[in-house]
A and B are shown apart, each in its own frame.
Chain A
């Protein structure tokens, strides 16, 4: 027998699944902010994020009758959000830059570079927006959305090794951007 997740919003979800607009609106109000921020990190554009948010919730409510409480609603709609965004980016044929692997030496070198940096949320967010799409997505999925490399591999249709190596590249690139920004702040 499958273990069902205890979702605190179960009554609202059940009503929403039957098409109750009021319940659907309540779910939207509960989860829109989190999903919008995920959309923004994936699409790197407010306008695109708004479009994707609408598509995500419409899809979620249309499919809600098939939601079996195997996970939380939040985890379920987060997965829909990410899949939708990635599909849209692929549809636009954007280069997600997911290719060769790198060696453990480079991973260690990145760690050293990170230790020198002063970290601030706004700087990291800005640096993320400057990453190439592929790096930004993997960085976001691992560092912010909490997926492990196995899950990222399934989402992105890549190997676990590629996920690890691309994350390392993304972190290195982000560190470079943060360092350059930090230098700029010091000079100014």
Chain B
């Protein structure tokens, strides 16, 4: 039941928020998101971390005759993703407090509505339900970006929308095919339940086809090189809150999709193509990092760095060993936290200076000590300094990749060099040096901004120092996943 509550509470709250006129909407939205987070915490305390089984399950008939069920539930991986979502959404709402958007009720209602979609993706245990929420999550973000975005928003968001829909259709086609394969051996009806998909025994050739259909959908969402070109533009043009939602949470949908719907469903397909996927991902790492080195727009720089980080997660996951998978899961959390924080810091700088160009900034650290500290910590998390969250993930991921193939590991490892190059270059350009005309009267963080950054920084150190809190939640689930794959 608690899963259903988690799923529908934001949608209900969204309807409520929609009714409120004026800027009061954000407060209601914030409280609603906090309540959602509290529900997630309650769910976590009731969660049996030692068991790899799906918990808090709810299986109602949806299209009963066709074997399509409203099947939701959480295992360790889902729970972590739900925690990430519910943790970040209140902060994302809070981060918008100082920004008076037009039609605030619609803006915040869309964010909450999106939360339902995101949580739905993470808890759905039926292929068509998954597909449903996958698309549900896309609609609000499209409107947020297209209504409240930058100058170029219309073509950019349109491209983003068409691009992801294009990918989703492949996924739908694959699901329909798989659906018709279920129950083929006996007289039993077809089913789109995740377990039914796991039990399919397809030929290697059809697995190979299905692999690509599903992979394209997920790869576009992540995005993996060379399906990434929607991302820098969309991140740059969207309002910061949308960018945070996209990079912090939505991108994890793609990775989660791989974990839940790709690896265990078509293991033979994976074993045929994993090397190619790893190569693509590793190209993405180097490619994204190298491009990030010369970007001068802060948002675009982080967008390219995100391609690199996600490339590493994808590479780690496709190694199909425990270090890689666990590293991928923990890195999803870390990346969500770091990238959200970094985008917020860019927003803070933009609010005060009206520019995101590195060349027109500088010397901010002289005026804003607190900002420097937060920025530094988040940056260190993202360059994977030990004892911050990024290290645990990258260490495990690189170990996984190295285990798969030492040369791949070495090339993927370039990320630790290149990330320090572009991140420090950014930090130096923005924070150090002499003040520019834009940063002359820079003011330090306000209470509201600190309120967003402090929880993020706490998480940076929590995951960095005590990763086992989270690793132990996903460990049985990852073990299960490996069992299914290696069956």
A in complex with B: no
Q: Taking beta carbons and an 8 Å cutoff, which residues of A are in contact with B?
A: none
